[in-house]
Amino acid sequence: MRPPILRRLLRRVASAAVCGLLALLAAHPVPAVAAPSAPAAAGLQQVTGFGSNPGGLQMFAYTPESVPAGAPLVVALHGCTQSANAYYTSSGWTKFADLWGFDLVFPQTTAANNPLSCFGWFDPAESTRGRGEAASIVQMVQYAKQTYGSDGRRVYVTGLSAGGGMTADLLAAYPDVFAGGSVASGLPAQCATSQAAASGCQTGPQKLSPAQWGDKVRDSHPGWTGPWPRVAIWQGTSDYTVRPANATALRDQWTDVWGIGQTPSSTQNLPGDTTRSVYADASGRPAVETYSVAGMGHGLPVSPGSGAEQCGSTAAYFLNTLCSSYHTGVFWGLDEDTPGGGDGLPAPAGLKVTGTTDGSASLSWDAVRGAASYTVFRDGAKVATTASTSHTDTGLTAGTSYRYSVSAADSSGAAGAGSAAVTATTSGGTAPARCFTATNYAHVTAGRAYTSGGHAYARGSGQDMGLYNVFVTRTLRESPAGHFVIADPACQAGSS
């Protein structure tokens, strides 16, 4: 019997013959290249050790420094021959992560998984609950919740082509994890369950009834009765790699799951010759939306520019029509307020950690004019309301990091915007202080520092380390865990 790793390799090599399946080569031939092991973009960081990783994926993340704990999380899946960095650079999602306040995770598959770096949407060993790549992606979500304080009730997944096919599979297998999804030039959930069937789905899925398509979702997580994810479907009418019939099947599948008809509640003309069709639930809230882009081929719609509804950059399979990330984010409600958000008072400035013990963390912030009270959030959860501009949070665990943000409220109780988050690490614990000497680039990559305005800053203390590049070398001391201070020119683990 072959070892599991060898079986996986042989299965992937064999799939090369079928990797017209969303290889994205039929309509737009490009050289197939292995996804890079490290991103070129400074803001995108690789994360290791996020779980057992049964699917052998890589995890990359973009976490804006201004995002408070308890913010939404968006998982974005690239297409074949692409990488996490390509999606980070061109899809437009980072613009709205900065603007609306949420974290981004970019899973990456490589030629080690598939000769053309496609997600295995067609392989039950990769695309079903608790298995393979799907399980790895859910482990990334769990890591983000624990590390960034992401709100587990507002986790969304989006993907292009093979990434879109995996998106549909994830929504079906994990409706308890994902509140919504967006499938761009992708396939219905469980359209194919073998390599041989993949190309057939791509060029024209089976002619199933909405109920039969819906059963493929319901069978992916038996016993689940809702709530179901809200799903956006993007498709070009001139896509000859993933035919438009797939968008119809996706619509039939998810409207049936929601128990609503296949006749739209409303339609709307958008820029880029795009028609938006809305399928509302019983309460009148959009449950499924389709976006049909006239004349567009195979790719993700983007609209480069500085306008409020523009985003992204054109590249292979990023096509200049309209900003799909903007419209998808609005559909999910990402433009609405995050915990502590609001349209009233501004966010408190100057939030900082003024002290810690082994069981407490003390905070202070600048007063907001017109504020009657302030709400303190720890890891996204409300922990206190105070009229003061300081607070000491007690009952904490020694040697543990916590993420805090604060919002202000007026005399009527209307909440304002949430502040930027800070991290407080309690003292104590058994781990000794450690010293690290590396370039500023390496410190950021390892998570010991973060970037802002072209400089690197020590995580925890916020000390300016100088320019973010590979030429500046600094020494950092970690004590307590997760809190780093500059310790040049020499570092003594026992020093304070």
> What's the Cα-to-Cα distance from 75 to each of 40, 46, 108, 151, rounded to whole Å?
19, 14, 11, 13
- If DSSP codes are grouped into helix, strand and coil, which group holds residue 124? helix
| Cα(8)–Cα(6) distance, integer angstroms | 5
How many other CB atoms sit within 10 Å of the CB of residue 419? 26
Q: In what order do the strands lie in the sheet with 455-458?
A: 449-452, 455-458, 464-467
Beta bridge partners of 320: 302
Contacts 24+ apart (CB under 8 A), 99-102: 100/329, 100/334, 100/335, 100/338, 101/64, 101/66, 101/67, 101/68, 101/71, 101/338, 101/341, 101/418, 102/67, 102/71, 102/72, 102/73, 102/74, 102/154, 102/334, 102/338
Spatial contact of 366 and 389, defined as CB atoms under 8 Å apart:
yes
Report DSSP letters for 20-69, one per residue. TTT-STTTS-----PPPSS-SSTT-EEE--SS--TT--EEEEE--TTPPT
Kindly tell me the burial class for residue 327, based on how many C-beta atoms sit within 10 Å of its own C-beta (0-12, 13-18, 19 or more). Answer: buried
The dihedral region occupied by 312, where left means phi > 0, alpha psi between -120 and 50, and beta the remainder, is left
The question of whether 161 is a catalytic residue gets the answer yes
| Cα(439)–Cα(459) distance, integer angstroms | 15
Give me the half-sphere count of Cα atoms (radius 13 Å) on the Cβ side of residue 58: 21
Of 15, 161, 185, 427, the catalytic one is 161
Which residue numbers are catalytic?
161
